[in-house]
Amino acid sequence: MRYNFSPYVEQVCFPPISEVRSWLAERPDAGCSELIDLCQAVPNYPPPAELTAHLQHLIDDPQQSRYSPDEGLEEVRREVCDWYRRHYGAAPQPQEICLTIGASQAFWLAMMVLCRAGDEVIVQLPAYFDHSMGLQALGVRPVYAPFDPQCGGLPDLATLKTLMTPKTRALLLVSPSNPTGTVIPPETIEALLALANQHGIALVLDETYNAFVDGRPHHLFANPDWQENFVHIASFGKTFSLTGYRAGALVADASFIHHALKVQDSMVVCQPRLTQHALAYGCRNLDAWVAQNRFMMQQRHDRFKELFPSKENRFKLVASGGFFAWVHHPWERLSGREAARRMALEANLLVLPGEVFGPGLEPYLRLAFGNIDETLLPEAVARFVALGQK
């Protein structure tokens, strides 16, 4: 090799979902039992047929194969604003929105606008692995707020305060959390914003799973000054079951979006037009469909909580909600990676190792129970019970 790799990128772990999937090829009895995939979080239902029929009408229009403005079509951003008005009780303006290639790219835009290499971002443990990976690739140091299992990993404001330094650029949180499912209450979100404000930093809130929570996630958009230091990351991939369409958005002050568009233009130019039309259709027409799926997910969660904890099950449920459960595995001598590998090889069950969500989390595993139909839950839980006895 005649070139050097960036040391920032070299230090980043390989994508954990790809790593876990690679274990499938090693299964001695592959194909004997049905694979239960609780690994990558993907709703197990398709988008509604009315949405795909709508796109089929559009696809022959040559306009659809062209770029759109970098920030997205104005009429689409207006639909997104209306969606916020209904779901959050208040909305950003279209110029405060940039449509992105999933929440993933919105996160990159946010971090590139806020941080330089050498800066710090405070991240609550357990932390969504792609956030740590992205920060490290940028040369930004994730400063981890410790995980408290007693409260399911909710952030503690006093602890967060102690982690602030002159290099801190943002408080980065996810609600509902990936991986614990824990929802940060609206009043805590208000307090987090006030804390960020006092320290002159941004509160960056990733709300990818907001469609799976009842009620208003918070009231920040109703605050006349929310733009001063709030940055919101959205994914409509989970909301409308369009993960492959890569439908996300960055929401922030218009001056923040102005800078983000410089990165957007050099990174992707724009969200694909067809994705924008899917998003607009979903925002305009699918509130009832989303509510139905939220209800189904809540039933799935209730059933999971009924089935999983038992005397026979040596895996302990620590936190759960929305789409995920965070469990403590019974093998003291195994890391989360070794435990997850064992589950893949011996039980044909894919889960993610705890340590991919941050340092010191080897005793835990993440289960995306939202991936599987309620009827498959008893079988999934039976495999945990059986493996725990071995």
Ligand X SMILES: Cc1ncc(COP(=O)(O)O)c(C=O)c1O
- Point out which residues bind ligand X (CB under 6 A): 41, 102-104, 128, 174, 178, 206, 208, 235, 237, 243, 248
Q: At closest approach, how far in Å is the CB of 384 from ligand X? A: 22
* Other beta carbons within 10 Å of 224: 7
Q: At closest approach, how far in Å is the CB of 84 from ligand X? A: 16
Q: At closest approach, how far in Å is the CB of 198 from ligand X? A: 26
State which residue, 120 or 206, has the beta carbon closest to ligand X: 206
State which residue, 114 or 347, has the beta carbon closest to ligand X: 114
Q: Which residue is nearest to ligand X (CB)?
A: 102
250 and 231 in contact (C-beta within 8 Å)?
Answer: yes
State which residue, 88 or 107, has the beta carbon closest to ligand X: 107
Across 183-302, where does the E strand assignment appear? 202-206, 230-235, 247-251
CA 63 and chain centroid, separation:
32
Q: At closest approach, how far in Å is the CB of 128 from ligand X? A: 4
State which residue, 97 or 174, has the beta carbon closest to ligand X: 174
State which residue, 102 or 155, has the beta carbon closest to ligand X: 102
Q: At closest approach, how far in Å is the CB of 204 from ligand X? A: 11
State which residue, 207 or 387, has the beta carbon closest to ligand X: 207
DSSP result, 173-208: EESS-TTT-PPPPHHHHHHHHHHHHHTT-EEEEE-T
- Tokens in use for 330? 């019974």
Among 134, 137, 131, 156, CA closest to 357:
131
State which residue, 175 or 313, has the beta carbon closest to ligand X: 175
State which residue, 204 or 344, has the beta carbon closest to ligand X: 204
State which residue, 128 or 384, has the beta carbon closest to ligand X: 128
Distance between CA 90 and CA 334 in Å, rounded? 48
Q: What is the 3-state secondary structure (H, E, C) of 86-137?
A: HHHCCCCCHHHEEEEEHHHHHHHHHHHHHCCCCCEEEEECCCCHHHHHHHHH
Task: Specify burial of residue 367 (Cβ count, 10 A radius: 0-12, 13-18, 19+).
Answer: buried
Angle subtended by helix axes 377-389 and 336-347, to nearest 10? 110
157 and 134 in contact (C-beta within 8 Å)?
Answer: no
Q: At closest approach, how far in Å is the CB of 244 from ligand X? A: 9
Could you tell me the CA-to-CA distances from 35 to 24, 30, 345, 372, 384 in Å, in that order?
Answer: 9, 9, 11, 11, 13
Q: At closest approach, how far in Å is the CB of 246 from ligand X? A: 6
Expressed in angstroms, the distance from the first to the final Cα of the chain is 46
Buried b (16+ CB within 10 A) or exposed e, 169-180: bbbbbbbbbbbb
State which residue, 17 or 58, has the beta carbon closest to ligand X: 17
Tokens 């957007």, residue? 264
Distance between CA 95 and CA 97 in Å, rounded? 5
Distance between CA 249 and CA 101 in Å, rounded? 8
Q: At closest approach, how far in Å is the CB of 43 from ligand X? A: 11
Q: Which amino acid is residue 382, in one-letter code?
A: A
Q: At closest approach, how far in Å is the CB of 139 from ligand X? A: 21
Q: At closest approach, how far in Å is the CB of 377 from ligand X? A: 21
